[in-house]
Structure 1
Amino acid sequence: MTALFELLRPELQMVHLRLERETRLQKQGLPAVTMPVLNPLDEDFLPALVLLSAHTQGYSGSRALSLAAVFQFIFLASLMHSDVKDEVAVQTLVGDYFYARFLDLLCRDGNLQFLVPLSRLICQIHLDAAGRHEKSVSADGSHLREYLATMATYLGSQLGKVEPQKVEAWKEIGMFLGKLWNGQPVKVKAGQAIEKLAPKAVKDLLVELVFHLSEKLPAKQVMAL
């Protein structure tokens, strides 16, 4: 795994513990449904983007941890909604439960200011899914990861010192990292976006992440970089 994830490991573990605690209702687990199986990258990617963008803007605290959990809830809910098969009703309801958890976290942990952009994000995700369903396009054609990564860095950076230029820079970085996470060959453009940031240490962490994501692209796409 990349140095970024290792650097943030203590906080990422706190986010995972928070997710586990928040998904238990009245001391009982969720219904027996097929939960999305996430690889280490998918488990850490969005929380890490929220935390890094917040820290770089000068914020370290509970709101960043909570916002990181919020994005992972939205990711899980969206995956569950896109993978309904035999247990359609239960699977969909559990996905809705994850959405409800993210709303609860926003209300409880001081991030209610992000309700409007996150609500719009979810609308965008569902409209995209509906369009793909209508055209019989597979889930591989989804922009889910791009949408989420863009908003993760955009909102995470607003937890600290709100400098419009830096916030927009983080939004652009999130977009290109999301495209890479989604399998699109945008390594050069991602590097150019990262160059707009000031702290060299942060640039180095992000560049390593770009190379890590690029290595996971299909061979033909890597050759096109």
Structure 2
Amino acid sequence: MLTALFKLLQPELEMVRQRLIKESLMQGRPLPGLTWPVLNHFDQDFLPALVLLSAHTQGYFGPRALSLAAVFQFIFLASLIHNNVKHEIALETLVGDYFYTRFFDLLCRDGNLQFLAPLSQLICRIHLEAARQQEKVSSPERLRTREYLAAAATCLGSQLGQTEARLTQAWQEIGLLLGKLWNGQAVTLKASQAVERLAPGTVRELLGQLVIQLNDELPVKRVMAL
């Protein structure tokens, strides 16, 4: 079931998906050995939707938002591939690295080079946490990749528009809390409160509905329903 937010952004989200497919080709052909991660409806559109919504809310509707949305999804896909390495380690690593390379290329080509530094630092943070996780065999912790990406998606998306620093911070907080929910953490009340601080209107309503649906997807909710 699609959220109301995803339905509203559906034409643009479809453009992002097509862009991902196009950019993943090498000389017009699929990468050898490339297997796209299986994504649910949230994983497929969540980050692109956050980029697009935060950009649009701050007054930006140009092509850079679509490109930045694709950038975040490439980073997410690369992180999934790297964290799911099993037997074909070399191939999986190369495909994940290729997706990261596509993100750099998109930034350079589509006028978003200003975001190179924060996104590079974000990827370093994701890799460092994943490396530390490998050392905690006895008591692994929940990776925070989704939280980091969601917070950055709303923060950088809002920066495409003419936004004030305080609004960028507000969007970053909303993204972080939505990312925590997406990552299975029960922070529904905090997320709702952050959304309620936005001006009344369609955006606040859509994000409120998204919080409710993410809450319904929490692992504890699914267990209680069994």
| TM-score class, shorter | over 0.9
Partner Cα distance (2:139, 2:92) in 1: 19
| Matching of residues 170-189 of structure 1 within 5 Å | 170-189=171-190
- What is the match of residue 124 of structure 2? 123
Q: 8 Å contact 1:46–1:71 — kept in the other structure? A: yes
Q: Where does the alignment leave 5 or more consecutive residues of structure 2 unmatched?
A: none
Change (3 A) 1:150 1:139: farther
What is the letter of the counterpart of residue 109 of structure 2? R
Tell me which residue corresponds to 1:109. Answer: 110
1:166-205 → structure 2 map (5 Å cutoff): 166-205=167-206
Separation in structure 1 between the aligned mates of residue 92 and residue 140 of structure 2, nearest angstrom: 17
Corresponding residue number in structure 2 for 1:65: 66
RMSD between aligned residues: 1.7
Which aligned runs of 4 or more in structure 1 are off by greater than 3 angstroms?
137-140, 220-223
Supply the distance in 2 between the matched residues of 1:101 and 1:198 (Cα, whole angstroms): 36
Q: Tell me which moved more, 208-217 or 129-138.
A: 129-138
Q: Trace 1:1-225 onto structure 2 (pairs within 5 A).
A: 1-136=2-137, 141-219=142-220
Alpha-carbon distance in structure 1 between the residues aligned to 2:200 and 2:190: 19
The normalised TM-score by structure 2 is: 0.95
Q: Percent identity?
A: 65
Q: Deviations along 1:150-209, whole A, 9 cap, x unmatched?
A: 000000000001211110000000000000000000000001111221142111000000
Query: Would you say how many aligned residue pairs link Structure 1 and Structure 2?
Result: 223
Amino acid corresponding to residue 177 of structure 2 in structure 1 = F
SS of the equivalent of 1:28 reads coil
Aligned 8 A contact 1:63 1:110 in 2:
yes
TM-score, scaled to structure 1: 0.95
Does the 8 A contact of 2:6 with 2:45 survive in 1? Answer: yes
CA separation in 1, counterparts of 2:26 and 2:218?
Answer: 38
